[in-house]
Amino acid sequence: MGKTIIPIGPYHPLQEEPEFFTLTVEGETVVDIDMRMGYNHRGIEKLSEMKTFENSTFVVERICGICSTSHPFAYTRAVEDIFPMEVSMRAKYIRTIIAEGERIHSHLLWLGLAGHFLGYNTVYMWAWKLREEILDVMEILSGNRQAYAMFKPGGVRRDIRSEDIPICLKKIDSIVPTLVMLKKAVLDDPVLHARLKGVGIMSYQEAIDFSALGPTSRASGVARDVRKDSPYGAYQEMEWDMIVTKNGDVFDKAVVRILESFESIKILKYCLNNLPDGEIDAKIMDVPPGEGIGHIEAPRGETFHYVKSDGTNRPLRHKVRAPTFMNLPTYKATIQGETISDATIILAAIDPCYCCTERIAVKDGKGRMLYNGKDLIQLSREKTEKIKKRMGGR
């Protein structure tokens, strides 16, 4: 940190974002966990107060490099809630397309990294290869692989050209067989079952008490999804299923994410096939005084934005709540009593940033450092190898 301290902002789980965990262990068992963060505190809430309503969209887009659309989506809905107003149907469909494309690539990214931590580098390579196809689709639609800059209060900034749609549909169809294969490879693998089932369990009641969100809570049987409960965008236009499992362990969190990717493909294809005609931008001029709330289902859970306007062209207050703010404290419930070799995958299971795992330090009772992040990943892989050998050298 040193000299470039930025006073305030949202905490958000970027990839490669620094956080510091301290695990207290007794032998192999984790007895306590403490976390420190704020190393990447950029002051975006304060910064947003100095920008106009339209410019803030671009600021919040830069909160996260993975779910770069979830923040502008929630923010523009918050601004529109001040009026309150609805955007045009075509704008809703375009927003949904961008948001779902992002969900697919975010879940694939997680799957790849989870495989990497467990020593399944084939999963890692396959998942990231598929992710490239989705990023290509996003590039065709928006002109960029990340930070699509499609959103603005009142609508979207760019239209989707009708000649691009068949190309995108073809690309999306082409990844489905490989995704099915990947799903089978992960979900039918006896080693992964042995490795991940019963690890890092979060009960239904704990998910409620921590107000956990997204796939983290749906894996514990909490059938909640902002897309179903508070419909926005075009999600109520088509049939799709909410994926809920009940065991709450790391395996179920993986199942939810993999199956959700298929639902997202369904939604994405429906939206591209049935894109209605119409205006894409309501061209709002002045934002009246008042307050608005926008919340949407990001890949990791509900993203929540609150905007207060005093009638000028800048927000008086802009609050950003990223899903990991609620999901991260659940470590306290999931990690205690588990072994050190499971710590990395439990910490990774809520899909936070992975840099955090490199920042874990394991201390013994006297405060000496025992392992660093690299050792922990190694321990995790060794455990997978042991299980493999025990199960007959697969």
- Contact between 194 and 244 under an 8 Å Cβ cutoff? The reply is no
Q: Does 234 bind other proteins (CB under 8 A)?
A: no
- Contact between 210 and 330 under an 8 Å Cβ cutoff? The reply is yes
Residue carrying structure tokens 């420190």: 36
Q: Does 5 bind other proteins (CB under 8 A)?
A: yes
Residue 142 or 303 with smaller CB distance to other proteins: 303
Over the window 279 to 298, marking each residue x when it contacts other proteins by CB under 8 A and - when it does not, the resulting string is: ------------x-x-x---
Report the residue from 29, 55, 230, 274 that binds other proteins according to the rule CB under 8 A. Answer: 230
CB of 163 to other proteins, least distance (A): 37
Choose the stretch contacting other proteins; rule: CB under 8 A; options: 17-25, 205-213, 254-262, 352-360: 205-213
CB of 84 to other proteins, least distance (A): 5
Which residues are CB-neighbours of 242 under 8 A, at least 6 positions away? Answer: 218, 223, 225, 227, 228, 263
Footprint on residues 319-338 left by other proteins (CB under 8 A): 319, 321, 325-326, 328-329, 332
Residue 242 or 282 with smaller CB distance to other proteins: 242
Q: In terms of Cα–Cα distance, which of 321, 294, 311, 296 is closest to 53?
A: 311
Q: Does 308 bind other proteins (CB under 8 A)?
A: yes
Residue 38 or 311 with smaller CB distance to other proteins: 38
Residue 328 or 356 with smaller CB distance to other proteins: 328
Measure the CA–CA gap between 325 and 213, rounded to whole angstroms. 10
CB of 314 to other proteins, least distance (A): 13
Residue carrying structure tokens 């879940």: 107
Choose the stretch contacting other proteins; rule: CB under 8 A; options: 158-166, 234-242, 316-324, 352-360: 316-324
CB of 53 to other proteins, least distance (A): 17
Task: Report CA torsion sign: 146, 149, 153, 155.
Answer: negative
Measure the CA–CA gap between 292 and 308, rounded to whole angstroms. 6
Measure the CA–CA gap between 179 and 184, rounded to whole angstroms. 9
Measure the CA–CA gap between 382 and 379, rounded to whole angstroms. 5
Over the window 127 to 166, marking each residue x when it contacts other proteins by CB under 8 A and - when it does not, the resulting string is: ----------------------------------------
Q: Does 317 bind other proteins (CB under 8 A)?
A: yes
CB of 278 to other proteins, least distance (A): 23
Q: Does 209 bind other proteins (CB under 8 A)?
A: yes
CB of 146 to other proteins, least distance (A): 19
Report the residue from 41, 129, 145, 183 that binds other proteins according to the rule CB under 8 A. Answer: 41
What are the distances in angstroms from CA 223 to CA 4, 77, 220, 239? 43, 23, 9, 16
Task: Report CA torsion sign: 87, 88, 89, 94.
Answer: negative
CB of 268 to other proteins, least distance (A): 24
Measure the CA–CA gap between 344 and 199, rounded to whole angstroms. 11
CB of 209 to other proteins, least distance (A): 5
Q: Does 85 bind other proteins (CB under 8 A)?
A: no
- Contact between 134 and 105 under an 8 Å Cβ cutoff? The reply is yes
Choose the stretch contacting other proteins; rule: CB under 8 A; options: 34-42, 97-105, 141-149, 363-371: 34-42
Report the residue from 14, 30, 33, 47 that binds other proteins according to the rule CB under 8 A. Answer: 47
Q: Does 4 bind other proteins (CB under 8 A)?
A: yes
**Site for other proteins, rule CB under 8 A:** 1, 3-5, 7-9, 11, 37-38, 41, 43, 45-47, 50, 81, 84, 208-211, 224, 229-231, 291, 293, 295, 302, 304, 306, 308, 316-317, 319, 321, 325-326, 328-329, 332
